[in-house]
Amino acid sequence: CVNDLNVEPIDPNVNTLNNVFKDQSAYKKALAKLYASYALSGQTGGGGGNPDIAGIDENFGNYLRQYWGLQELPTDEAIIAWDDATIKDFHWHTWSPNDVFISALYSRIFYTISICNEFIRNADKAIDTTSGAFQTELKTYKAEARFLRALSYWHAIDMFGNVPFVTEEDLPGAFFPRRITRTELFEYIENELKEIENELMPARQNEYARADRGAAWFLLAKLYLNAKVYTGTERYTDALTYLNKVISAGYSLDNSYEHLFTADNNSSPEIIFPITFDGQNTQQYGGMTFIVHASNGGGMPLNGIDGGWGGIRTIKNFVAKFNLKESDFDSDPQYQGPDKRAMFFFDKSTWKWDINNVGTFTEGIGVTKFKNISSNGGPAPNAHATFVSTDFPMFRLADAYLMYAEAVLRGGSGGDIGTAVSYINALRQRAYGNDSGNITASDLTLDFILDERGRELYWEGHRRTDLVRFGQFTSGPYVWQWKGKVKEGIQTPSFRDLYPIPINDLNANPNLVQNPGY
Amino acid sequence: QEWELRGKVTDAEDGSPIIGANIIEKGTTNGTATDVNGEFRLKVKKGSVLVISSVGYAQVEVTIVDQKYLEIAMNVEAEQLTEVVVVGIGYGEVKKADATGSVAAFSAKDFDKRVITSPQELLIGKAPGVVANTLNGEAGAAAQIRIRGGSSITANNDPLIVIDNIPLESTGIGGMANPLSTINPNDIESITILKDASATAIYGSRASNGVIIIKTKKGLKGTEKMLVNYTGNFSLSSPYNYMPVFSGDEFRALVQDRVENHGLTSAALDRLGNANTDWQKEIYQVAPETEHNISIRHSIGSVPYRLSLGYLYQDGILKYNNIDRKNVTLNLSPSLLDGNLTMEINGTASWVGNNFSNPDAIGSAVEFDPTQPVKNGNTRYGGYTAWTELSSGDPLNGLPNNIATHNPVARLEYRDNTSNATRYIVGGKFDYNIPYLPGLKATLNLGYDYYKTDGSDITDTLASWSYREPEFQIREYWQKKTNSLLDLYLNYKKELGVNKFDFTGGYSYQHFYNEGENSNRAWDPTVPGARVTPYKNEYFLISFFGRLNYTLLDKYLLTATIRYDGSSRFAENNRWGTFPAVAFAWKMTEEPFIGKSDLVNELKLRLSWGKTGQQDIGDNYYPYIPTYTLSTPGAYYQFGDQFYPTLRPDAYDANIKWEVLTSLNAGLDFSLLNNRVTGSIDVYKNNSDNLLNSIPIPVGSNFSNYLLTNVGSMVNKGVEVGLNITPILESDFSWDLGINMTYNKNEITKLTLTDDPNYPGVNTGGIAGGVGNTVQKFAVGYPARVFFLFTQVYDQNGNPIEGLYVDKSGQGGNVAGNELNKYYMKSPDPDYLIGISSRINYKDFDFSFSGRLSLGNYVYNNNASNRALYQQIYNQSGFLSNILTDVKKTNFTTAQYWSSFYLENASFFRMDVISVGYNFSSLFGNNIGGRIGLSVQNVFVITEYSGLDPEVVNGIDNNIYPRPRTYMMTISLNY
């Protein structure tokens, strides 16, 4: 009976590599995990145990939560009141290589890459042994896995620079992944996206929330627009090539700006690639639940949730992009200005315009952009008191319009100023409800683009990348309240344009090199 | 006609005097005891019958005719003697005097008279090298035991517990505060603690944290008188100190001051109430407890039996918290075939009911605004005051504010968290003396431990906190564990001249099975999100073991042990481990050149070396197998209009294996001054290797960023001294004093694969406040759980300056934002632990106490760091919170979690128990003897620690259920 020591798990919910893919439907579930990696922290709803990564509270170890935090909190768009570990270091630009949140996002990025690699390996095996419709489907799945891997590598190149590199060739085990330079990684992502371009479903033809060619084109455009930052070489013409593909793929601006951020935004014709959430089925204290609850408090309308957590709000420097002053809230704490994108809350009786204490939520200006109600004011689909049903619009057409204008302004060919102005005015007409906000070609400057990106895309996880591309994130002339841990803000060292390689991985992997300055 | 009888009691074998033998006139209270010379005097009259008894000797009865002087020679009573000096060593027993390892043994008489709900508590303060603490004051709370500091970092540090030859599963079970509370302490005959590897190696892969062998009481032979024993007690417990918070009036003044002078929004004033509520007084109670046990020891025909029935009911000081236990234990020890087949059959059944009440109320009671009344007349929350959402515009019946503190009294009233556990332990041990081969014995040992719990945790819909996730209003769960055991072994004893051999060899098979289900739902069946989550797993252990005891000339003793263990938790290439040990003992007083004298009665030197293991490495029973886990509902992902469960590849370590402990021990057992001073001294060094540590692994190399893998090493070095002293021993006055001292130094020597000197260590010690904040580390060169904090800077008046710390790194800038400025500080474990117990018998009275001195243990006062901050008084979402008056010491506004200010020396002396008793030998003229006693538990604590209680397991003091003071009356009757 020594053979009794050879065990296989007896829990019906636990499968081993030996038997898990015996059922063809398992591939779609494994693919769902790759997408879910951006939305959920583990295998139990609500972050209730069985997390994917360790070293941090499960609901903090959520991809979107940390991506959002690292892209927004160090910028003029958001500031947080809480005392969680080192979270205030972001707004202060004082984060260190052992920061748990930076480590969490970095881990999450490479976790996602690892499971994509595993999926690609398994899909490859199955593609070789199947045929017909199922084989075709598997090929699409595999292309999507490669897209998601490229997406995560894009996050890595954007935030961490020269990073570890693993593909499906690297089997899981005890080894030290090699370091890849930013330039090499740029080429890898570029090649991957081009290779899968035609293996993905045509734009807008896949199931909702699954990546298609539109998503791949959009990501390529993002990569090219930021190429100067990543590699030192401008690629604005390439950016325009793919932006033109995106723009002509049949997406259209949503008639209602507000609808992009409500619980029924899955029906928006503008969204190119979302991360989905659902009050009953995709539950997570990180993700959109975090964004909606943490930005609520101080008497703000609840908009479909059961209460605010009083954490994140914006600052006076940012609302100044909308020319807002304290007195604009004299009659109504919910701002009702001509630009409908300015969704801010400020109750003069209890809130303070200036932030004297970062830890006091009611100092600053509340943001009511994301809501857990449907666009008609009714309850969210699959509504839950705590968990939010609103999807996160990671890529949307308006961003492509703004990127188009920027690439043209920066000298890319394949576009023209006239079209750029018309795209910008399409956004402004939606915002103002009429032509009153329209601009002319002479208004279209790079400074205007940066501000307009803020107005259109604030809190959508773009701000850090944008400020870095415009040279305004750290050492540029632009400062805002509490940047550099000084009330009215100071410039910070430019090495902070990149996050540090987390100390944990630097210690674990001798192939890595710390980013300069850390 | 009365006269004074004088006499002497001696050992029949060697004529030595027997000290402390009892001489009692049968049927009366007239009696005395022998002095150090074995002599006594007693008034007697013609025709009275004297009963002479002494532990370890057969009782003698003498009828008085006209004797003036009596010489009584007593014979050693074989069976009773074994009870005293024989210790379990696993798959066999050995005389304590012949033990070669570091072994501590206790019998029932050593146990304190106090409220004890589980066997672990019997060990508190009793043995050197054994640190036992109850975790908190909850009824039936778990006790944590660490033998020689514990050998692991992340794996289990609990010793292996073996009850009546059945090694128990070490981990607990859901819905039981303490799994061992199913064992009635009154049924325990003896406890043996095996400390060094030579003693524990026979248990191989489960032995590295020491072994506790518990033996329950057995029946009596039919020739003896039936013994009936009843013990009962009744006690009352009450909290004796409370967290220092502001009263209602003080709080109103405080809020006023913060608004007027410190910039707090005046909105805070609008939320103040007019009441003066002491919330802590509202949630605690004076808690009664009562326990009754009856046991009968005799025989049915020729089958000795012991039957015991027990009942316990104990309330906790937190309202509604209670535990009740009913248990039945039957021991049968028949023998057949002219005594060549002996059997020990043990069966225990226990039924434990737990009401956990709602410990969340404890923290709420500290925080809830004291200016609010318990009830404010709302209708939505059953009248209990609740903070509501500002935006809902109705302070009484608006939506609940989910981030606010919830009403402590409602916490108790609206949560019903109970469980019922059943446990059966059945064991049978069959010893067969093989005919024609004298000295050869075969043993079959079978055991089955079945454990099941059913529980529910139900929140009323009136509860203000039930809104957040209504689908969790009703939680139900059950769990079943079984542990099946088969041991088969041979024992052969042989004497060849001056050589004695005692060989044991055998096979052991054990299977552990665990299954259960958790479910949740809302009261309203239309609320979605109801779920049922089942789980199931198992593991096997298979072992071969052997032990040779060799004795030369009755003075040189050698023990060699080996165990070869296989565990299903590891892959085939790492599955089997070999755990050897050798020990040598020298009975020095047997040497002619030392000899026995009145000064030195006995000396024994012990030396040992051994390796043991730890296979209990966590909840994952399949850590080496690449598995995929399907997500549960709620963790589905949307494609199109459908939600799909997800399949995740799990991280795994194909090479995971045992932790190994190598232990060296040197010890001296002694008995001095006519056995008035006995004891032992041990020094040891334990090296733990292959320690599992969840370490950051290179990202991209596996399916997680951390992996539990065998990388760490740790050393425990220590000295233990145990002393039993009898300063006074007279016929009606004796005093026994027990002192034990432990010194242990722990250091982590390795933690990662690459020996990186810059590796800062693994975070541990999560605190209350923020999320994910920790204040301790496992770090190389420091003790486990070393504190990791900034060094606070103080002003010239000695007050801490908020946010100002020593710039250790010299990098300037934001000192508090740079981890490099944190210092490794102190340790939560004591350097010295000294247990002291004393027992005085004077005539029919006894008086005893026992206490503990703990030196050098540090505690991070998380209550102060998290609840003594001005900023917490008012939250922007519109609620007030009380804070601790400790804030006056710091004047801190915002949280300074990593300030060394909060790290305090929590050395303490705790008087665990003081008791007095009166002993009688006949009640109402019947042959009923017994004792009536009074005791106080947790009598006082001397400490400089500023928090409630310095005894904090793992060194982070937050929201503990306070340990009460308990007054108890006990009655025990023997017939």
pLDDT at B79 over 60: no
**Which among A2, A382, A508 is the nearest to B696, CB-wise?**
A508
- Which of B652, B694, B698 lies at the smallest CB-CB distance from A505? B698
Residue A113: φ, ψ to 5°: -60, -40
Q: Choose the closest CB to B535 out of A11, A100, A361.
A: A11
The residue of chain B nearest to residue A360, with distances taken between CA atoms, is B876
> Does residue B134 carry a pLDDT above 70?
yes
The minimal CB distance from A9 to the residues B265, B391, B622 is found for B622
Question: What are the Cα distances from residue B74, in Å, to B24, B55, B113, B676?
Answer: 15, 11, 31, 21
CB B555 within 8 A of CB B586: yes
Q: Which of B648, B802, B808 to mutate to test the interface with A (most CBs of A within 10 A)?
A: B648
pLDDT digits (tens, 9 = 90+) for B578-601: 999 999 999 988 888 877 777 888
**Does B532 lie at the interface with A, CB-CB under 8 angstroms?**
no
Tell if the CB–CB gap between A170 and B641 is shorter than 8 Å: no
- For residue B649, give the chain A residue with the closest CA: A115
Mean pLDDT lowest among A24-28, B3-7, B346-350, B664-668? B3-7
Task: Name the residue of chain A whose CA is nearest to B465's CA.
Answer: A306
Q: Do A45 and B566 touch (CB under 8 A)?
A: no
Mean pLDDT confidence for B92-96: 82
Four-point Cα dihedral A301, A307, A310, A312, nearest 10: -70
Mean pLDDT of B806-813: 84
Q: Using N-to-C axis directions, what is the helix angle for A397-409 and A236-247, rounded to 10°?
A: 150
Residue in A33, A164, A386 nearest the CB of B646: A33
pLDDT score, position B82? 36
Paired tokens of A267: 């029906």
Q: Of A279, A154, A93, give the one whose Cα is nearest residue B634.
A: A279
Specify the range with the lowest mean pLDDT, choosing from B18-27, B819-828, B830-839: B18-27
The pLDDT tens digits along chain A (518 residues) read 788 888 888 887 788 888 889 889 999 999 999 999 999 999 988 777 789 998 888 888 899 999 999 999 999 999 999 877 788 899 999 898 888 899 999 999 999 999 999 999 999 999 999 999 999 999 999 999 999 999 999 999 999 999 999 999 999 888 899 999 999 999 999 999 999 999 999 999 999 999 999 999 999 999 999 999 999 999 999 999 999 999 999 999 999 999 999 999 999 999 999 999 999 999 998 899 999 999 998 889 999 998 889 999 999 999 999 999 999 999 999 999 899 999 999 999 889 999 998 988 999 999 999 999 999 999 999 998 889 999 999 999 999 999 999 999 999 999 999 999 999 999 999 999 999 999 999 999 999 999 999 999 999 999 999 999 999 999 999 999 999 989 999 999 999 999 999 988 988 898 999 999 98
pLDDT of residue A245: 97
Note which residues in 102-141 of chain B have CB less than 8 A from chain A: none
Q: Which residues of A touch B813 (CB under 8 A)?
A: 94
Give the per-residue pLDDT at A100: 86
Residues on chain B touching A385 (C-beta within 8 angstroms): 467-470
The predicted structure's pLDDT at residue B83: 38
pLDDT at B137: 77
Strand B642-645 to B636-639 pairing? antiparallel
CB A350 within 8 A of CB A362: yes
Say yes or no: B811 contacts chain A, CB-CB below 8 A.
Answer: no
Q: In this predicted model, what pLDDT tens digit does every residue of B197-238 receive, in sequence order?
A: 878 888 888 888 888 888 888 877 656 678 888 888 899 999
Task: Find all residues with CB under 8 Å of B110, minimum gap 6, and list them.
Answer: B126
Q: Is the pLDDT of residue B741 over 70?
A: yes
For chain B, the straight-line distance linking the first and the last C-alpha, in angstroms and rounded, comes to 30
Q: Do B391 and A361 touch (CB under 8 A)?
A: no
- What rounded mean pLDDT belongs to chain B? 87
The residue of chain B with its CA nearest to that of A15 is: B628
Q: Is B261 an 8 Å CB contact of chain A?
A: no
The reported pLDDT for the residue numbered A80 is 95
Structure confidence at residue B594 (pLDDT): 79
β-pair partners for B956: B860
Cα B910 from Cα B939, distance rounded (Å)? 8
d(CA B525, CA B474): 11
Q: Does B813 touch chain A (CB under 8 A)?
A: yes
Q: What is the CA radius of gyration of chain B?
A: 31
Task: Tell me: pLDDT of B911 over 80.
Answer: yes
Of B252 and A1, the one with more pLDDT: B252
Contact (CB<8Å) A92/B695: no
Q: For the residues B367-377, what does the mean pLDDT come to?
A: 95
Give the SS3 label for residue B848. Answer: strand
pLDDT at position B794 is 95
The more confident residue out of B7 and A410 is A410
Interface of B with A in 171-230 (CB under 8 A): none
The band of B28, judged by pLDDT with boundaries at 50, 70 and 90, is confident
Distance CA B166, CA A314 (A): 63
Residues of chain B with C-beta less than 8 angstroms from the C-beta of A282 = 634-638, 643
What average pLDDT score do residues B611-639 get? 88
DSSP string covering A387-456: S--PPEEEEEHHHHHHHHHHHHHTT-SS--HHHHHHHHHHHHHHHHSSGGG---GGG--HHHHHHHHHHH
What's the confidence (pLDDT) of residue B222?
58
Q: What angle do CA A41, A44, A46 make, to 5 degrees?
A: 70
Closest-approach residue (CA) in chain B for A106: B699
Subunit contact B646:A30, Cβ cutoff 8 A: yes
Q: Kindly determine whether residue B643 and residue A16, on different chains, have CB atoms separated by under 8 Å.
A: no
Rounded Cα gap, residues B492 and B143, in angstroms = 39
pLDDT of residue A350: 86
Between CA A91 and CA A72 the distance in angstroms is: 9
Nearest-Cα distance to chain A for B535, in Å, is 6
Q: In angstroms, what separates the C-alpha of A178 from chain B's closest C-alpha?
A: 10
**Per-residue confidence (pLDDT) for residue A321, from 0 to 100:** 96
In this structure, the number of other CB atoms found within 10 A of the CB of residue A229 comes to 17
B240, with CB counted inside 10 A (0-12, 13-18, 19+), is: middle
Tell which of A1, A6, A10, A103 to mutate to test the B interface (max B CBs under 10 Å). A10
Interface mutation target, options A73, A108, A114, chain B, most CBs of B under 10 Å: A114
| The two three-digit tokens of residue B640, written as one number | 């199109």
- Which pLDDT does position B178 carry in this prediction? 63
DSSP state, residue A365:
B
DSSP A128-167: HH--HHHHHHHHHHHHHHHHHHHHHHHHHHHHTSSEEE--
Q: Which residues of A touch B759 (CB under 8 A)?
A: 507
**For the residues B7-36, what does the mean pLDDT come to?**
79
Answer whether B639 sits within 8 Å of A210, measured CB to CB. Answer: yes
Preferred mutation among B466, B540, B564, B701 to probe A, highest tally of A CBs within 10 A: B701
pLDDT higher than threshold 50 for residue B81? no
Predicted confidence (pLDDT) at residue B828 exceeds the cutoff of 50: yes
Name the CA dihedral angle for A486, A490, A493, A499, rounded to a multiple of 10 degrees.
Answer: 60
CA A217 to chain B, closest CA, distance in angstroms equals 20
Q: B445 pLDDT exceeds 50?
A: yes
Alpha-carbon gap, residue B466 to B414, rounded angstroms: 10
Residue B187: pLDDT band with limits 50, 70, 90: confident
Chain A: closest CA distance from residue B387 (Å): 12
Cβ contacts of A361 on chain B, cutoff 8 Å: 876
Min Cα separation A28/chain B (Å)? 8
Q: Which residue out of A306, A387, A499 would a mutagenesis test of the B interface target, given it has the greatest number of B Cβ atoms within 10 Å?
A: A306
How many angstroms separate the Cα of A95 from the Cα of each of A101, A518, B224, B318? 10, 10, 78, 43
B757: left (phi over 0), alpha (psi -120 to 50) or beta: alpha
Mean pLDDT of B108-125: 66
Q: Is it the case that residue B285 has pLDDT exceeding 70?
A: yes
Task: Please give the pLDDT value at position B406.
Answer: 95
Contact B534 A54 (CB under 8 A): no
* Res B875: pLDDT: 87
Q: d(Cα B465, Cα B18) in Å, to the nearest integer?
A: 68
Asked if B759's CB is within 8 angstroms of A32's CB, the reply is no
Which is more confidently placed, B38 or B479? B479
Dihedral sign computed on CA atoms, order B692, B698, B703, B706: positive
B649-698: pLDDT as tens digits: 999 888 888 889 899 999 999 988 888 898 999 999 999 998 888 788 89
pLDDT at B380: 93
